[in-house]
Structure 1
Amino acid sequence: MSDSLATLIARLEGPARRGQFSRLRRGLEKEGLRVDPAGRIAQTPHPATLGSKLTHPHITTDYSEALLEYITPVYCRPEDAMAFLGDLHRFTHRHLGEELIWPASMPARLDGNDSVPIADYGPSNVGTMKRVYRQGLDVRYGRIMQAIAGVHYNVSLPDDLWELLREADGAGDTLLNDYRSARYFGLIRNFRRHSWLLLYLFGASPALDRSFLPGGEIPDKLQAHGRDTLVAPYATSLRMSDLGYQNKVQAQLKICFNSLSNYVGTLRHAISTPWPAYQALGVKADDGWRQLNANILQIENEYYSDIRPKRVARHDETPSQALEARGVEYIEVRCLDLNPLLPLGVDETQIRFVDAFMMWCLLSESPWIPDLECEHLDDNRRRVVERGRDPALRLVQHGEPRDLADWGSEILDEVGRVAELLDRLEEGNPHRDAVAVMVPRLADPALTPSGQLMARLQDRGEEFSDAMLAIARQQAERFGHGPMDPGRAALFAELAETSHHQQHEIEAADRERFEAFLEGYFARARESRIAGEAAS
């Protein structure tokens, strides 16, 4: 442990013991494909009894009409977030009929690109924009990639902790928003240096159905397992590999999160700069819109990253304008697979560990990332997702080869010290215990979720889709008949009804043609929101 980290932890122990900083705040976004009883992606519309996917605050869809997305409120206690997520599942299963929720990140059986239905948000301008954006993703990357599911973990640190850190840093003259944003970007840089550890510990997608690669050509990293399954024997997270959410055009953006201004400037450049291959696709065709524009990014949400700085945007702001105007509010972690072996795809132990890991990323020194290090970070990440359980694997640290287990053990020792700070407000040692659960996974890769899933497929000779379908049926039985909080049941029923009314009101209020709406949106998106700065 560095002297600076040890000193900072020591300085925070007293305030933590006295209860002078509050718990972390976190929310979860969890995706899951609807499938039919045979395990094929559902072709049915989003159930109307669940509410409007345009306006419902907790039940919506991601790319596909079949890709459910659950959004919890922000909670200080992980168990509260998990309870809310569980009731979202229970409520949904009561309205799915014979359909199931696929438990894995890699999708169910597909029948080509068109078997992934694009989500339809209605005829309003905002609904049309959402659909055209998704059509743009289709023509750029194809729909199959968009059927991948995951867990997004949103976390923010309490204001009283920021005050303590600012005082410890001797930065009392720095505006709190500016200080918070700079430190959040330091957290992000450390996360990018060490996110390979989360991919190793929690990756749960070492296999996929052959239908995910409709062209028939099998990449070298994959091997056949049975008739319909492809596996990478040592992989942890094929979802995060170049088979999943990766994009070579976006890679040239070179965002290494060294500063808020660099991040915002790079995104603004990307949504304003045409890309020849996308220009060749055309923005409109005889049958309507093909994409929102022909730029590197149609909108900022198209940028794929395993972590993002975030702030809740106002109605007239893009995400980066909200950041620019008021600074970073919270962090979104996007590299977590669904764990099919857990009923909700994630559990409280994992949340507690990620809490401690994120706090460790914040408190540790975090110099800017030069271009060469950025390349090494990407390479470490690639090695772990493709063969993280390979005993011969070596990563690169400070330009030198490093054994994954040794490096990971060193990190866990430090994360454990930080976990002790978080436990000062808890009964028992839940964060420290969560770190302890992870220690054996470094010594024995078979204990990781990816290792357990591979063992199941190999020991039973199961196909990936057959195994996931069996789990989906078990989970449907569990959630479909399990007890649900009566207050939440009433809330979800009310939200389903009111969300439909809200969508109708939005549609009735539209007075602008879609072309004019879109032109106005992008004109505003190009504006700087720095106080006193002229629009670009």
Structure 2
Amino acid sequence: MFTLSEQLATTIARLKEPARRGQIGRLRRGIEKEGLRVDASGRIAQTPHPAALGSKLTHPHITTDYSEALLEYITPVYCRPSDAMDFLGDLHRFSYRHLADELIWPASMPARLDGNESIPIADYGRSNVGTMKSVYRKGLDVRYGRIMQSIAGVHYNVSLPEDLWALLREMDGQGQLNLGDYRSSRYFGLIRHFRRHSWLLMFLFGASPALDRSFLEHSPTPDKLRAHARRTLMAPYATSLRMSDLGYQNKVQAQLKICFNSLSNYVGTLRHAIATPWPAYERLGVNVDGDWRQLNANILQIENEYYSDIRPKRVTRHDETPSQALEARGVEYIEVRCLDLNPFMAMGIDETQMRFLDAFLMWCLLADSPWIPDEECDRLDDNRALVVDRGRDPELRLAVDGTERRLAELGHDIFDEIAQVAELMDISETGTPHGDAIARLAPRLDDPSLTPSGQMLTLLEGEGEDFVDAMLALARQQADQLRSEPMDSARDALFTQLSDTSRQQQGDIEAGDSLAFDEFLEEYFARAREPRATHKEAAGR
């Protein structure tokens, strides 16, 4: 029989009365959603970012990720998931007014490609800031190739209720600690617990068990993939090939061993990586006869190059890097980065998933989360690798605390704990939205065919269709739906104004540059090396 851990049970019990008094508040979240533009035949678009969508350098809500064809939508921060979804929906509706016959690809694994060069690198204009963004992407190309960068996903940004931190600090008997230091320490505890259990999210929400042959270009087909139809490769039990060794993985970065035990360790490791040359990258060259191939030849060009399934974040000021912002003012929110697009949803995500993620993250915060030693760090990586490759295999077992247990058994134990946290969160809600989300998703543990990856394989195998053809049909259906739906009139006017304003802002930035690019870059990295810590970090729990 399941028994809630004594620590978590005590914490939840002590928080219930403050929750009834309205002292905890609501989570705040924002969504970043990527999606490739494709032509009517399902090939990656070769056209420039539509001018009517504004400047991708300066627009606050519509930009691009790696490629000129990889749209990225960014919502404001909202307390209600429905508000974030409404805004994201209107970003899609507005875009479709200016995409002509192009479509937004609904899947994480890309549409049909025609080799590395078929993925156009995003162009951010003539300014030094814009040139830096483009050169950074050229560096990703020479290091990893463009094809890996054509993968899309959803990033979920969450900050926990501000009033909750003071309550937890008092409950922990840490009143002597600066609240910002305490908050950062607890956020890192959340991240450690997340990394121990992020495999569950990849099982529940992974949606990339198949891909088009063009993704592998001229590479040999891995043993875990089998042929389907004419041009498709699939892994029978996979949940998220996007998060596997076929997707965002890098052996050079793996040696960094960032296990998120403390803010100072995290920042120090990233700073070391940005300052440490790597021989293979040195051989590629940096600025060769005026041709900028990468920003530098170090392990990481900039901090954004570090791939992880979760990141601590802080809104940066104009003169600081992400790590400097964390050093100076602590962790403000976390960014969940392991979520595939759900191709069966026009937004790639829905409110049920958001409510579950919120409860999962609150559970990660409230549960005990000791530091992660190196040997456990390796085991966590192994568990995630097993789930992304074989998560729906009924025989799969994961290593936990020196034993091996079936995924469904582990999942039910976690769901039982999260349900208690959801009950706490629903005290301040109308109805029980967090509890309802858990109840709707729980059947996936015992019937993996209900997961998005299971649904995709059922679709492909049932119709005998290729991945690209099936996803193209979904893209057309979603485009028709979004083009026919009205959008909020005030938001329509806002997006039109932002498009015009963003183009003007890009022009102003370009006109205001006074340094040559190499001088600008030298100054940037000189500032990036400066420590910005303004107070002593709290000790980990």
Q: How far off is 1:531 after superposition?
A: 2.8
Q: Offset of 1:251 from its aligned partner?
A: 0.1
Which residue is equivalent to 2:452?
Answer: 449
Q: Secondary structure at the match of 2:23?
A: coil
Tell me which residue corresponds to 2:86. Answer: 83
Query: CA–CA distance in 2 between the matches of 1:287 and 1:112?
Result: 26
In structure 2, the partner of 1:60 is 63
Moved more, 211-220 or 41-50: 211-220
Cα distance in 2 between the residues matched to 1:285 and 1:123: 19
Q: Name 1:229's counterpart in structure 2.
A: 232
Partner of 2:482: 479
- Decide whether aligned partners of structure 1 residues 512 and 432 sit closer, same or farther in structure 2, where only a CA change above 3 A counts: same
- Secondary structure class of the residue paired with 1:70: strand
Equivalence for 1:244:
247
Partner of 1:178: 181
How much identity, in percent, do the aligned residues show? Answer: 75
d(CA) in 1 for partners of 2:98 and 2:402? Answer: 54
Correspondent of 2:29 among 23, 26, 33: 26
Q: Which amino acid aligns with 2:195?
A: R
CA distance in 1, matches of 2:135, 2:304: 13
Offset at residue 532 of structure 1 (A): 8.1
User: Which of 489, 497, 502 is equivalent to 1:499?
Assistant: 502
Distance in 1 of aligned mates of 2:498 and 2:135: 26
- Show the 5 A alignment for 1:176-325: 176-286=179-289, 288-325=291-328
| Counterpart residue type for residue 17 of structure 1 | R
1:422 pairs with 2:430: no
The amino acid that maps onto 1:317 is E
Question: For residues 502 and 207 of structure 1, do their structure 2 counterparts lie closer, same or farther at Cα, with a shift above 3 Å needed?
Answer: same
Where do 4+ consecutive residues of structure 1 move more than 2 Å?
none
| Structure 1 residue 216 displacement after superposition | 4.3
Q: Give the letter aligned to residue 496 of structure 2.
A: A
Whether contact under 8 Å (2:37, 2:70) holds in the other structure is yes
> Which of residues 450, 464, 468 is equivalent to 2:467?
464
Alpha-carbon distance in 2 for matches of 1:253, 1:217: 28
Q: CA deviation at 1:436?
A: 0.6
Aligned length: 533
Q: 1:69 aligns to what SS in structure 2? A: strand
- The Cα offsets for residues 395-434 of structure 1, whole Å up to 9 and x where unpaired, read as 0001210110000000000001000111111111000000
Give the residue type in structure 2 aligned to 1:92: S
1:348 maps to which residue?
351
CA contact 2:329–2:534 (8 Å) conserved in 1: no
Provide Cα deviations, 1:204-251, integer angstroms capped at 9, x if missing partner.
Answer: 000000000011410011000011000000000000000000000000
Letter in 1 for 2:424: L
Paired position in structure 1 for 2:511: 508
Q: Report the equivalent of 2:152.
A: 149
Letter in 2 for 1:518: L
> Structure 2 regions of 5+ residues with no counterpart?
537-541
Q: What letter matches 1:344 in structure 2?
A: M
Deviation at 1:159, TM superposition (A): 1.3
Instruction: Note if contact 2:328-2:535 (Cα within 8 Å) is conserved in structure 1.
Output: no
Name 1:518's counterpart in structure 2.
521
Given the superposition, is the C-alpha separation of residues 532 and 305 from structure 1 closer, same or farther in structure 2, using an over 3 Å criterion? Answer: closer
Q: Deviations over 1:302-344 (max 9, x none)?
A: 0000000000010000000000000000000000000001121
Residue 488 of structure 1 corresponds to 491
Residue 286 of structure 1 and its aligned partner are, at CA, apart by 3.3
Q: Is the deviation greater in 130-139 or in 476-485?
A: 476-485
Which whole-Å CA distance do the structure 1 matches of 2:84 and 2:196 have between them? 28
Q: Does 1:398 align with 2:401?
A: yes
SS in 2 for 1:53: coil
The CA distance in 2 between the partners of 1:405 and 1:88, in whole Å, is 37
Distance in 2 between residues matched to 1:350 and 1:431, nearest whole Å: 10
Equivalent-residue separation in structure 2 for 1:343 and 1:313 (angstroms) = 31
Which residue matches 2:10?
7
Matched AA of 1:497: D
User: Does structure 1 retain, via aligned residues, the 8 Å contact 2:249–2:307?
Assistant: yes
- Could you tell me how far apart the structure 2 residues matched to 1:131 and 1:343 are? 29
Deviation string 1:288-307 (CA, Å, 9 cap, x unpaired) is 10000000000000000000
RMSD: 0.8
Alignment counterpart, residue 388 of structure 2, candidates 385, 388, 404: 385
Alpha-carbon distance in 2 for matches of 1:421, 1:392: 34
SS in 1 for 2:181: helix
